Amino acid sequence: MSQIKFVSFMTLENNKNLVSNYQSSKYSWLKSGGKINKLYKIYNFSELSSLFNRKQLKTKSLLVIGNLSNTLIKDEGFKGLGIKLLGDFANVQIYHDYMLVGAAVLDNYLSKFCYQKSITGYEFLYTIPGSIGGNIFMNAGCYNQEIKDKLISVIFFDTNDKKIYEENINDLEFDYRKGFQRKNTIILYGKFKVTHGNQNYIKNLMQEYANIRNQTQPQKVNCCGSIFKNPFNQSAWKLIRTSIDESFYHGPIKLSKKHSNFFENEPNISANSIDLFISNIQKRVSDKHKIMLEKELRIIG
Ligand SMILES: Cc1cc2nc3c(=O)[nH]c(=O)nc-3n(C[C@H](O)[C@H](O)[C@H](O)COP(=O)(O)OP(=O)(O)OC[C@H]3O[C@@H](n4cnc5c(N)ncnc54)[C@H](O)[C@@H]3O)c2cc1C
């Protein structure tokens, strides 16, 4: 692990950087979720450093949000320190044989950017609605690809010693839907491989992935993608389908008929009722198959 040095010259302005009572339900893919008491919007290294060097800052617990496509904050809200990266962290820079991608860059944007630059390997990101930060945290993936396959290193801020580090992917233990999940850290950038390819091939693959998704998963509904991780050698959707009754497919929070590991919910529905719905599914599967499904959705609170 190597440390990256930088010079800080800016201070934080409360009216630009601080959002009090940030309503996650307004922005989350589920259109549900409690408030974040204090959310700081951070646009560059200097603001980050300035925030964490404040004497009065209390960092009991930290929540970094990306595009909120895999997060549900319970109704009581989050009382710790919320961080959202923007600005400099929403840029992609191409160097000779790697790309430096900010944590706030959206997966879909990166995929289209790569297409424009004839860079192949990022077609699968076209269909994932998260950000690169959330993606590196989750080791997100689909169609037999995961972000770890493309990563060279992760650049992150350690809120304990207030320093920036770079760590090589070979020294990190990424696993299925478990990426860089180190406590008290903020993922700032991913350094990614660059492989050039044929633009038509890239475009067709992106379209193919989008078509598969349209056919197999619900579209234009409030959802979080897969609720549960697939247990080893098993499909969560099959375990769910064979454990529940028809009532789970009806009501304001309901499983998708297209894909039983997805649910759809009405907007502004209580986050705690979604949590309960998920626990009920977990219990049914456990009773029937003696398997405790592990949530892929991050539930905060
Ligand atoms: C319709 C739909 C389809 C989906 N399909 C897929 C799929 O095919 N494959 C797949 O893997 N996932 C899928 N997902 C889930 C989701 O898109 C991914 O997990 C994505 O990587 C989450 O990114 P995000 O920016 O939305 O993260 P968020 O939901 O905002 O955060 C997720 C977690 O990452 C942490 N985090 C986010 N940014 C940072 C950062 N900069 N530093 C530290 N921690 C951070 C958060 O604290 C949280 O714990 C889908 C979701 C939806 C709604």
DSSP, residue by residue, 120-170: -S-GGGGG--SBHHHHHHHT-EETTEEGGGTEEEEEEEETTTTEEEEEEGG
33 lines ligand 1 (CB under 6 A): no
Q: How confident is the model at residue 48, as a pLDDT?
A: 94
Q: Which CATH class, in words, describes the domain spanning 2-87?
A: alpha beta
265 lines ligand 1 (CB under 6 A): no
Q: How far is the CA of 67 from the centre of ligand 1 (A)?
A: 7
Which atom of ligand 1 has the smallest separation from the CA of 135?
A: 21
138-165 as b/e: b if 16+ CB within 10 A: bbbbbeebbbbebbbbbbbbbbeeeebb
Query: Which of 32, 89, 128 most suits a substitution to test ligand 1, by most atoms within 8 Å of the C-beta?
Result: 128
Interatomic CA distance for residues 211 and 56, integer angstroms = 51
Query: Which segments of the chain belong to CATH 3.30.465.10?
Result: 90-202
Q: How confident is the model at residue 292, as a pLDDT?
A: 98
223 lines ligand 1 (CB under 6 A): yes
Q: How confident is the model at residue 66, as a pLDDT?
A: 98
Is pLDDT above 70 for 7?
Answer: no
Query: Which segments of the chain belong to CATH 3.30.43.10?
Result: 2-87
Q: How confident is the model at residue 9, as a pLDDT?
A: 61
Least confident of 3-17, 78-92, 244-258: 3-17
Q: How confident is the model at residue 92, as a pLDDT?
A: 98
**What is the end-to-end Cα distance of the chain in Å, rounded?**
32
User: Bridge-partner residues for 165, per DSSP?
Assistant: 3, 156
Reported as type and span, the H/E element at residue 27 is helix 24-27
CB atoms within 10 A of CB 254: 17
Is pLDDT above 70 for 59?
Answer: no
| Average pLDDT over all residues of the chain | 95
Span 2-8, average pLDDT: 75
Which residue puts its alpha carbon closest to atom 11 of ligand 1?
Answer: 140
Q: How far is the CA of 70 from the centre of ligand 1 (A)?
A: 4
Q: How confident is the model at residue 8, as a pLDDT?
A: 63
- 198 within 8 A of 118, measured Cβ to Cβ: yes
Instruction: Report the CATH fold assignment for 90-202.
Output: 3.30.465
CATH of 218-300, one of 3.90.78.10, 3.20.20.70, 3.40.50.80, 3.90.1280.10: 3.90.78.10
Q: CB within 8 A of 195, min separation 6: which ones?
A: 119, 120, 121
pLDDT band at 86 (very low <50, low <70, confident <90, very high): very high
pLDDT band at 6 (very low <50, low <70, confident <90, very high): low
pLDDT band at 55 (very low <50, low <70, confident <90, very high): confident
Assign 220 to helix, strand or coil: coil
Q: How confident is the model at residue 89, as a pLDDT?
A: 98
Out of 226, 260, 264, 284, which one is annotated catalytic? Answer: 226
Q: How far is the CA of 56 from the centre of ligand 1 (A)?
A: 31
Name the nearest CA neighbour of 142 among 127, 152, 155.
127
- And the tokens for 124? 């699968």
Q: How confident is the model at residue 56, as a pLDDT?
A: 73
- Which amino acid type is present at position 85? L
